[in-house]
Chain A
Amino acid sequence: MIAGRVWKFGDDINTDLMLPGSVLYASEEEQKRAVFAANRPGWVDQVKPGDVLVGGRNFGMGSSRPAARSLRNLGLACVLAESINGLFFRNAVNFGLIALACPGVHAACEEGDRLELAIADWRASNARTGVALAVTPIPEALLKLMTGGGIYPHLEQRGLILPR
C-alpha cells in the first residue's frame, strides 16, 4: 500500500514544464531542481519523498525527455491522473516511476488530502473523504518493470549494458 500527501496539477501538464530545455542535458540533480519551475516555482522545495502527485487528462504530454526520472528523483510515491500520456508512460515504466490512470481522481481530492493506492486491488482511495476509485490496470510485465526499478537493471543483468 502506498499512501501520501496530494499535490494537485491540471490537464495537459507537459514534459517541458517538468524538464525545461535549459537543463535538458544537465545532471539529474540539476534537472530535479528545475521541475515545474515555469508553472509552479518553489514546488521542489515543498514536495517531500512519499508524496503523491494527482494530475488531470493526458499527464506528461510532449517530449520524450526523461521527465519521469525527475519526478522519481523527487521521491514521489506515485502519480495518479485522469489519463497518462503514452510516451510519458513508457518513460515511467522504464525509469521505475509508478504512474497510473485513475479516472475521477482529480475531482475526488483536494490538495493536502491523503491518498492511498493499493496496486494489487487496482484501487485508490481518499483517506479524508473515504471515496474509492478504480485504477486502470496495466499489463503485468509493465507493472513489474515500473515497480521494480525500471528497465536498466534487466539490461545490466543480461550483460547488454554496463552498470553505472
Chain B
Amino acid sequence: MGMTALEKIFARASGAKSVAPGDLVVVNVDTVVMLDSSFFPSVRREVVKVHDPRKVAVIYDHFVPAPDEKAAAAQAYGRAFARRFGIERFHDVGPDQGISHAVVADHGYALPGSVLVCSDSHTCASGAFNCAARGIGAPDMIYALTTGQTWFQLGGTVRYDLSGRLRAGVSAKDVFLHLAGTYGDHANCNIEFGGPALADLGIGARRTLAAMGAELSAEFVTFEPDQALIDYVKARNPAPFEPQYPDAEARYLDRRRVDLGAIEPLVARPDSVIRNSVAVGAVAGQRIDQAFIGSCANGSLDDLAEAARIVAGRKVARGVRFLVTPGSQRVYAAALKAGHVQTLTEAGAVVTAATCGACFGGHMGVLGPNEVCITASTRNFKGRMGAASARIFMASPATVAASAIAGSIVHPGEFAGGRA
C-alpha cells in the first residue's frame, strides 16, 4: 500500500515496514528543541540523564532578552542545564538568537526525512523541510529528552496540490487565510503540500504555510521535497539526510487543488481564523492602534522586504504603533544589510530584537483594553496579545504594513508601487 511522505518518515523512524492512519507509532526522535520556556519552575523537572545531547538544541525565544526577573532566573537555570549536559547547540541572547522555528531554519536543524519535536505548537513550521516536526507538551519534551523516543497517534492526510502563481501583493499568509476560510480546521489530520506551484514558492513562504498549519489544528504539515529545499538545507547543515517523497499511490483523506493565482488579499476577523476570513474590503476603514509583523510565521526576510517595499518613503499614521520583529537575529542582520531596517525605521516602525514577544502577548507590544491590532503573526485568539477586550485582525505582512500607513485596515494595493 502506498504511503504519504509523513507515513514514510514514521515507518523509517519506528523501524516498521509501513504505517497507516490509526496506528500508534513509537519513534526515535532525531532532534529535540528546548526553549527558555522549558526552564520556568512551573514547567521544568530536575533531569538526571539526557539520552543524547547531540540531538538536543536549546533555543531561547519566548522571553528574550529577559523582560523580568522570573525570565532571567529561568534562563540562568537553562544555561547551567546546557553546560551540565554538554549541549552544544545552545542559542542564547546574542547573534544566533531567534524564534526557535526560524533558528532551526537558519541552521538547517530540521533535516528532511527526520523527526523533530519542540514544546511550541508552531513546530510544524519545520514541516516546510519535509521533516516530521510537531509541537508537544512539556512532559512529552522531558520524555523525549531523557529516553530519545516519543509516540504519535497517526491520523489521515489531506493533500493540497498547489498550482498557479501568486499575484503581486498576495503572499503565503493569504493562501493560509484562504484555506482556513474555505476548508476550516484539519483537526486530528495531517496536511501534505505539493504541486507545480512549489517551484515558485520560496522557503520563507513555505515556512509561513507550514507554521500556520498549527492554526488549522493539523497534527503534522509536510512539504514534498524539491531541489530548492535540498539545496537550502545542504547549504546550512553538512549532516546527511534522506528526503521522503509520497508514493504515487499514497492514500489521502482528500486531495484538493488550489490555484494560487486566484487568491486575493484576505483578513481574518478577531478571535478565530477558522472560517473567519473576509476580503480586505469587508473590513476596510477599521481604525487600528497597533500593527504587528513578526512571529515564526511572518518574521522571514521575505516578510520584512515586503513590509519595507510598502512603507518606503511613507510615514506610519499618527496614533498607530507599527512593530516589526524579525524571526531571528540572522534575519535582522540580513534585513539590515538589504536596507529594510532603515526603510522601516524611517517610516516610523519600531524594529525589535528577534523574539516570540508580541505574538503571544508576552512582552514587547502587549495590547491594552479595547485596542485594535492588525497582525501578521500566528494567532488572533481572544486575549492572545494582551487584554481580553482587544480585537485582533490577522492579515499578510503587505496588508499590515499598508494598514499601518493608512491608520486603518486597507488593501495593500493602495500602496502597491512604493514611493521612494
Contact with B along A75-89 (1 / 0, CB 8 A): 000000001011101
A129 contacts the other chain (Cβ, under 8 Å)? no
> Once the chains bind, are A64 and B120 in contact (CB under 8 Å)?
yes
Residue from B42, B74, B138, B383 in contact with A16 in the complex, judged by beta carbons closer than 8 Å: B383
A25 near B70 (CB under 8 angstroms)? yes
- Kindly list chain B residues whose C-beta atoms are within 8 Å of the C-beta of A33: none
Whole-angstrom CA separation of A22 from B384 in the bound complex: 9
Q: Which residues on the B side are within 8 Å of A38 (C-beta)?
A: 382-383, 388
Give the residues from 20 to 35 in chain A that come closer than 8 angstroms, CB to CB, to chain B. Answer: 20-22, 24-28, 31
B interface residue count range (under 10 / 10 to 19 / 20 to 34 / 35 or more): 35 or more
Query: Top 9 closest A-B pairs, CB basis?
Result: A94-B139, A38-B388, A160-B146, A162-B46, A91-B137, A25-B40, A21-B361, A58-B187, A38-B383
Contacts of B379 on A, CB cut-off 8 Å? 16, 62
Q: Which residues of A does B touch, CB under 8 Å?
A: 12, 14, 16-17, 20-22, 24-28, 31, 37-39, 57-58, 61-64, 66, 68, 83, 85-87, 89-91, 94-95, 139, 141-142, 150-152, 155, 159-162, 164
Taking CB atoms, residues of chain B closer than 8 Å to A139 are 24, 153
Does A83 lie within 8 Å of B383, measured CB to CB?
no
Q: Would you call A66 and B138 a contact (CB within 8 A)?
A: yes
CB distance from A27 to the nearest CB of B (A): 6
7 additional A-B pairs beyond A90-B137, A152-B139, A161-B146, beta carbons within 8 Å, are: A16-B384, A20-B388, A62-B381, A66-B43, A90-B136, A160-B142, A162-B46
In the assembled complex, which residues on chain A have CB atoms less than 8 Å from the CB atom of B147? 160
Contact with A along B158-189 (1 / 0, CB 8 A): 00000000000000000000000000010110
Cα–Cα, bound, A153→B249 (Å): 43
| Smallest CB gap from A22: residue in B | B361
CB <8 Å contact, B382 and A161: no
B121 touches A62 (CB 8 A): yes
The answer to whether B420 has its CB under 8 Å from any CB of chain A is: no
Determine the residue in chain A with the shortest Cβ distance to B360.
A21
B51 to chain A: closest residue by CB:
A160
Whole-angstrom distance between the Cβ of B139 and the nearest chain A Cβ: 4
B327 to chain A, nearest CB (A): 18
Residue on B with the closest CB to A94?
Answer: B139
Q: In the complex, what distance in Å separates the CA atom of A164 from the CA atom of B137?
A: 18
A160 near B382 with CB under 8 A, answer no
Chain B residues packing against A (C-beta within 8 Å): 24, 37, 40-43, 45-49, 70-71, 74, 119-121, 135-140, 142-143, 146-147, 151, 153, 155, 185, 187-188, 217, 219, 272, 274, 360-362, 379, 381-384, 388
Q: Is the CB of B187 within 8 A of A86?
A: yes
Are A17 and B121 CB-contacts (below 8 A) given A85-B187, A87-B136?
no
A24 and B187 contacting across the interface, CB-CB below 8 Å: no
A86 and B45 CA atoms in complex are apart in Å by 23
CB within 8 A of B188: which of A16, A83, A160?
Answer: A83
A selection of 9 A-B contacts at a CB cut-off of 8 Å is A16-B379, A24-B362, A25-B74, A26-B42, A62-B381, A64-B119, A90-B140, A152-B142, A160-B146
Is the beta-carbon distance between A160 and B49 smaller than 8 angstroms?
A: yes
Residue of A nearest to B45 (CB): A161
Chain A residues, Cβ within 8 Å of B274: 12
